[in-house]
Structure 1
Amino acid sequence: MGILSGNQQDEPMHYGEVFGLWTYLTGIKGVISAYQTYMNHVGDADLFKLIEDMVDDARREELEIEQVLKENGVGLPPSPPERAYSNPEEIPVGARFNDPEISALIGRDIATGLVACSQIIGESTREDIAMLFGQYHTNKAQAGAKLLRLNKEKGWLVLPPLHMNTPHPV
């Protein structure tokens, strides 16, 4: 039996896996903090619920990744403080994120998260880590589909210019 066989949790993580997990965890901690702030600005109940669900998913990811890193003797990145709750109506209009802006920022985060998960999957030699990030990738893709549907329903989807003039074969 070689080093890459047997119980996955007994295999050492290579430096790429350590860096990938540590960096992803740092990003997740930032996402939780940012989304808590967005929740203070959002006015739409459906968008609020989506953000709330995404924070719950991010917290679950945070705990799972922290556990893997701890088990492998890797120090954890610092966590930002929890955000206080506020009433969106108390935030001045010029200082407040509007719902379409928040939705666009979340869409960007989902796309970035999908790429990050794919990269970690591709770099992993430990199957347990690859499978964990496969789950995260699937969850993010589902959140992206929900966000797309919400953007369409609310009229927030901004389309790029449509290419209507396609060349005709000669």
Structure 2
Amino acid sequence: MINVIETLLDYIKNFSTDDSPPPPHIGEAMGCWLYFTALAEEVPALETCLNTTTNSELLKLIQDSKNLAESQIDTLKKLMVKEGILLPEIPATNPKSDPNSIPLGAKATDSEIANLISVKVASNIVMCSTNMGQSIRTDIGLMWLKFHTEKVILGSKVKSLMQQKGWLKIPPYYYSPGAPHN
């Protein structure tokens, strides 16, 4: 059985002895570029969501998601500039608008907004896991671990609100043939 604490200590020890890391390999660079792009595209979508809903709990969740995306963008940008990884173009921010002036039919519902955030968080978690697994450099691997953990925490908040409001989309339950049903 794997001892989690020993594994983490070995990983951290490897990080502390990594005085002059090699340049990122192409997979690490591509992972940074793709995740940066995903986050950069996410921010304007979240701004649109902020302009669409009046639900105070959902507004807080959207703002938390936007703040996290911007924080991760800043971290990635510093690494990418330092390592010479070209930055993708960033879309312009959206202006503020009045949610009550958006006509019905053109306005996303609170459930649709929450599910959009949920899907974005899930895809971000998968990207972080993939990039963490492909990282050779310990500092880059730890960055992905941090991003992954932050997104998992945000995801748990999203799921809780969605369950509370009845917005969570649940696939049909599976019952094994021949299993007793209650």
The TM-score, its normalising length taken from structure 2, stands at: 0.85
Report what 2:55 is aligned to.
44
> Could you tell me whether the CA contact under 8 Å between 1:43 and 1:88 is conserved in 2?
yes
Unaligned runs of 5+ in 1: none
In 2: Cα distance, 1:39 partner to 1:8 partner: 43
Which residue is 2:38 aligned to?
Answer: 27
Q: 1:5 to 1:146 in 2, by over 3 A?
A: closer
Question: 1:67 is paired with a residue of what secondary structure?
Answer: helix
Taking only aligned residues, the RMSD between alpha carbons, in angstroms, comes to: 1.9
1:119 aligns with 2:130: yes
Give SS of 2:140's match. helix
Distance in structure 2 (CA, Å) of the matches to 1:39 and 1:89: 12
Separation in structure 1 between the aligned mates of residue 175 and residue 84 of structure 2, nearest angstrom: 56
Partner in structure 2 of residue 64 of structure 1: 75
| Matched ranges for 1:96-107 at <5 A | 96-107=107-118
Q: Which residue does the alignment assign to 2:23?
A: 12
Partner of 2:145: 134
Give yes or no for contact 1:117–1:134 (8 Å, CA) kept in 2: yes
Corresponding letter in the other structure for 1:140: K
- How far did residue 168 of structure 1 move? 3.3
Shift of 1:136: 0.8
Aligned partner letter, 1:128: D
* Shift in Å, 1:22: 0.7
Q: Is the 8 A contact 1:9 1:128 kept in 2?
A: no
- C-alpha distance in 1, partners of 2:16/2:134? 17
1:22 aligned partner, one-letter code: W
Structure 2 gap ranges (5+):
1-14
Q: Aligned partners of 2:20 and 2:102: how far apart in 1?
A: 48
- The one-letter code sitting in structure 2 at the alignment partner of 1:31 is E
Which residue in 2 is equivalent to 1:73?
84
Alpha-carbon distance between aligned partners in 2 of 1:148 and 1:32, rounded to the nearest angstrom: 20
The 3-state SS of whatever aligns with 2:92 is coil
Is 1:110 the counterpart of 2:121 in the alignment? yes
Shift of 1:165: 6.3
* Residue identity (%): 33
Paired letter, 2:113? I
Task: Give the AA of the match of 1:126.
Answer: R
Provide closer, same or farther for how the CA distance between residues 20 and 66 of structure 1 changes in structure 2, counting only shifts above 3 A.
same
Q: Deviations over 1:126-162 (max 9, x none)?
A: 1111111101111111111111110111121232222
Q: Distance in 1 between matches of 2:16 and 2:111?
A: 48
How many residue pairs end up in the alignment?
Answer: 166
Task: Report if the CA contact (8 A) 2:21-2:137 is conserved.
Answer: no
Q: Name the CA distance, whole Å, in 1 between partners of 2:86 and 2:176.
A: 56
